Structure 1
Amino acid sequence: MTTFVDRVELHVAAGNGGHGCASVHREKFKPLGGPDGGNGGRGGDVILVVDQSVTTLLDYHHSPHRKATNGKPGEGGNRSGKDGQDLVLPVPDGTVVLDKQGNVLADLVGQGTTYVAAEGGRGGLGNAALASARRKAPGFALLGVPGAAGDIVLELKTVADVALVGFPSAGKSSLISVLSAAKPKIADYPFTTLVPNLGVVTAGSTVYTIADVPGLIPGASQGKGLGLEFLRHVERCSVLVHVLDTATLESDRDPVSDLDVIEEELEQYGGGLESRPRLVVLNKVDIPDGQDLADMIRPDLEARGYKVFEVSAVARTGLKELSYFLAEVVAKARARRPKQEATRIVIRPKAVDETGFTVTFDEAEGVYRVRGEKPERWVRQTDFNNDEAVGYLADRLNRLGVEDQLLKVGARAGDGVAIGSEEDAVVFDWEPSMMAGAEMLGRRGEDHRMEAPRPAAQRRKEKDARHKDSAQQEYDEFRPF
């Protein structure tokens, strides 16, 4: 059964915004007291948060679909809808967030670090918020915006100061078990370690973490063995420790050739590992043949510039010197790291001629396509079953300059115009008089529902009176003196 997962594809969906409410205040002796529709609630976000108590992505391997809650719709009486609840997903320290194309979206290091993986949709405005001097009683409200949704990839890169690398059965797990309190699985067959093991070592006043990387064999950087799956776990380390087996039972292997193979795999993998400090640990020197081989190869390794330690994880010899030297190297590496600066907010003002949208001709579809955050959001918020709402959309687009831009790019009356991407665009036949057409849907400064209904006889009486006044005025203008 799988107990460790360090890479998973996650399908996240934020909550949708609640719809605004179109309502008119009513009470005794005041049946039409004005608009009082509340705004819709905002949809919940999907947020990734670093939690150091979490060490694997196993939960998301079993449940890869995560969705936040939707915002509630607004109600009459100026009651706004409840906001959707944010969905907080704990991830291990060192998690990298990527998109489907492999581009890094966020690198989450440090307890409490957060990243909004999917942003909730904003709620629609109710007709009370849409009221103005010209539009005293809107008969419509805006719809809520759908929340963002998509696929992301989570990759775990272990946050450790020291990485132990070497061939299978070189003694890495045994070494980490005696240097720290970690209890990895240990056996005398290759690929015993199937997951990276992490331990904490205290040497004097320095506390550092140490991890072993399993399954490195020739061709690991191309996917052979287990190395390709776990090489990413050494990218954050401060120092690399080559653990060489001086008592190997395989006749075609020797410690120096093992070192060369691992170095070649690390070089081919990349990730900035070529500049990390390195040292060599000759393990299993408690065996007579192992000590003899260590004495033979040590001068060669030191001639290459490596610091060499002879240890025995079983006899626990040479461990103190190794742990204190690693603490010294880690302390120096930490001192070289730049101090964390206070978070700065960078303000980038928009250019004075930036419209916030683009208009291009789509030859494949034969339409003029309008793309931009505002036009596309406004379309999603419009109830196309309500003529007044459609007219309000037309006015907004016209004020933004969409109609002027269409004229500049050569659009003519009757041409197709699509607002949005090819997947969810709204297409209509464009008329240059869109603003006038919107006004014809109804006078925005008045609303017939705000007036008390008059009997038909009274309306006829008022009409006859107007005709009588007009006739009398004509007679007074042309009567003889």
Structure 2
Amino acid sequence: MKDRARIHVTAGGGGDGCLSFRREAHVPKGGPDGGDGGRGGDVILLCDDSLRDLEHFRRASHFKAKRGGRGQGAGRHGADGDTLTLKVPPGTEVVVEADGTRHDLVTAGQRATVAAGGSGGRGNARFAGPTHQTPRFAERGLPGEEGWVTLALKLLADVGLVGLPNAGKSSLLSRITRATPKVAAYPFTTLSPVLGTIHSDDRQLIIADIPGLIEGAADGAGLGHDFLAHVERTRLLVHVLDLAPLDGSDPVENHATVEAELARHEPRLATLPRILALSKADLVTPEVAAATVAEWTARLNPGHRESRDPWESPEDAGEVPVLVTSAATRQGLDELVALLLRRVPLVPPADAGAALAGAGPTAGTGATDLGQLAAHRTFRPGPRRGFTVRPDADGGFIVDGPAVQRLVARYDLDNEDALAHLEKRLRGIGVIAALEDAGFEPGDDVVLAGIAFELDP
């Protein structure tokens, strides 16, 4: 299972506008009729419920959309470039590395644009007016956005089973659901997350068997980051703890190791509701199991009242229930399933998107119905300023920024008409005024987006 990928995307460039004049019989001086260029194709990610991992990005990592068509005479506009659609599985978190924009795709059909196509250039017919009836320039199309995008698949599970390797998580999952994880007597038997479903009369729960954690997992040791990320979306954790480890390790230290790695990876995980499942109870006597339950209940729930049934009123105190379980004899499994169904809260569909994005205390939906989830949330940084003006070492000025770069890229700088129009546009967006405020005088050198210009104040 491949749950991380890094891809390079390039949107299509916009088509150039056309410089053209009418040529008809008996019309010696026809007006401008150059058409506009088409817009370049976007690169979008589409959430597809038929996919379960990012394996298809192993074969290719560079993707490019089609550019827009060039404008033509007689007012004919260029065709828009085709959109390039890349499919990803539900639960994919998308980060555009250039600006940190993040998309959370959790519902089939959701779309996220990760590279916008460049706009097409305007033909010369667009610039005709009462005082300029024969414009002899047209705009160039702008290049499309490009850059690296990181994809990370995080399972959409309600409950995560965590614990050290060989704690009994896979065996437990196989008995309470129909999942068939690999089970063996050596560490790291489970090398990728396995999902199972608990069914009841009115709802379902998705259970994820997260591969075993070891000390240092938050720093990437063992299976590390690859699978710690999968517990981020869960709304309840079942910590599976071996009652009597065959390697002679201390269960208290084992419990502390896993909890510490969860908290180091993502502080929110430390606040998720917990259930402690003491596994492999068939290997100890009932007296030892009962004493261990009492010990862990007191350790995890100071002030616990013995009279309270933890799965009968789970909302009362937010305690960590402690159960004795055995996959071999099914001891405690029915109680565990009933407790999970009560402890995992139902989230109204209107709140699901916020919860999944980390804006609330829980994530997901009680029914685990992906169709109920709200539209994906997009996180973008604040807007960037259009341009900056600063003096250079030679006494001139440097003007740069997205707005200026886009304008300079639009025009043929060897065309006098185009240069005059460019200067008009620069004045319109405030570049000339900003230069004057900075001390610009006639004759000073000005570099606009890396190109030297002679400007009139």
Q: Tell me the TM-score range normalised by the shorter chain.
A: 0.7 to 0.9
Three-state SS of the structure 2 residue aligned to 1:406 is helix
Show the counterpart of 1:129.
Answer: 126
Show the counterpart of 1:140.
Answer: 137
Whether the 8 Å contact between 1:246 and 1:291 is mirrored in structure 2 is no
| 1:378 and 2:407 correspond | yes
2-structure distance, mates of 1:212, 1:325: 18
Higher alpha-carbon deviation: 204-213 or 177-186? 177-186
Show the counterpart of 2:390.
Answer: 360
Choose between structure 1 and 2 for higher RCO, CA contacts under 8 A separated by at least 6 residues. 2
Show the counterpart of 1:390.
Answer: 419
Whether the 8 Å contact between 2:279 and 2:324 is mirrored in structure 1 is yes
Whether the 8 Å contact between 1:235 and 1:271 is mirrored in structure 2 is no
1-structure distance, mates of 2:33, 2:99: 48
Higher alpha-carbon deviation: 305-314 or 206-215? 305-314
Q: 1:413 Cα shift?
A: 3.0
Q: 1:45 Cα shift?
A: 0.9
Q: 1:204 Cα shift?
A: 2.9
Q: Which amino acid aligns with 2:42?
A: D
Matching residue within 284, 299, 302 for 2:297 = 302
Q: Which amino acid aligns with 2:347?
A: R
1-structure distance, mates of 2:397, 2:9: 32
Q: Which amino acid aligns with 1:302?
A: T
| 1:243 and 2:267 correspond | no
Show the counterpart of 1:432.
Answer: 456
Alignment map for 1:51-450 (pairs within 5 Å):
51-100=48-97, 103=100, 105-251=102-248, 253-287=249-283, 289=284, 293-303=288-298, 304-305=300-301, 306-330=320-344, 332=345, 334=347, 338=351, 356-363=386-393, 367-420=396-449, 425-428=450-453, 430-432=454-456
Show the counterpart of 2:378.
Answer: none
Three-state SS of the structure 2 residue aligned to 1:106 is strand
Q: 1:161 Cα shift?
A: 0.6
CA deviation profile, 1:309-333 (whole Å, cap 9, x unmatched): 2222233343222112101111x25
Whether the 8 Å contact between 1:203 and 1:324 is mirrored in structure 2 is no
Q: Which amino acid aligns with 2:452?
A: V
Q: 1:179 Cα shift?
A: 2.3
Distance 1:178 1:239, change over 3 A: same
2-structure distance, mates of 1:426, 1:205: 67
Q: 1:78 Cα shift?
A: 0.9
Distance 1:317 1:39, change over 3 A: same
Distance 1:234 1:141, change over 3 A: same
Q: Give ranges in structure 1 of 5+ residues lacking alignment.
A: 344-353, 434-481
Q: 1:69 Cα shift?
A: 1.0
1-structure distance, mates of 2:138, 2:436: 30
1-structure distance, mates of 2:120, 2:230: 42
Higher alpha-carbon deviation: 65-74 or 202-211? 202-211
Matching residue within 19, 22, 25 for 2:19 = 22
Provide the aligned length of Structure 1 versus Structure 2.
411
CA deviation profile, 1:398-448 (whole Å, cap 9, x unmatched): 33332232122112333332223xxxx2222x3426xxxxxxxxxxxxxxx
2-structure distance, mates of 1:142, 1:109: 40
Whether the 8 Å contact between 2:98 and 2:148 is mirrored in structure 1 is no
The CA RMSD measured in Å over matched residues stands at 2.6
Three-state SS of the structure 1 residue aligned to 2:160 is strand
2-structure distance, mates of 1:326, 1:336: 20
Distance 1:38 1:269, change over 3 A: same
CA deviation profile, 1:240-270 (whole Å, cap 9, x unmatched): 101122343212x143332122112222223
Whether the 8 Å contact between 1:203 and 1:323 is mirrored in structure 2 is no
Whether the 8 Å contact between 2:68 and 2:78 is mirrored in structure 1 is yes
Q: Which amino acid aligns with 1:205?
A: D
Three-state SS of the structure 2 residue aligned to 1:20 is coil
Segments of 4+ in structure 1 off by > 6 A? 339-343
Distance 1:269 1:66, change over 3 A: same
Q: 1:99 Cα shift?
A: 4.2
Q: 1:339 Cα shift?
A: 6.5
Q: Give ranges in structure 2 of 5+ residues lacking alignment.
A: 302-319, 355-373, 376-383
Whether the 8 Å contact between 1:246 and 1:290 is mirrored in structure 2 is no
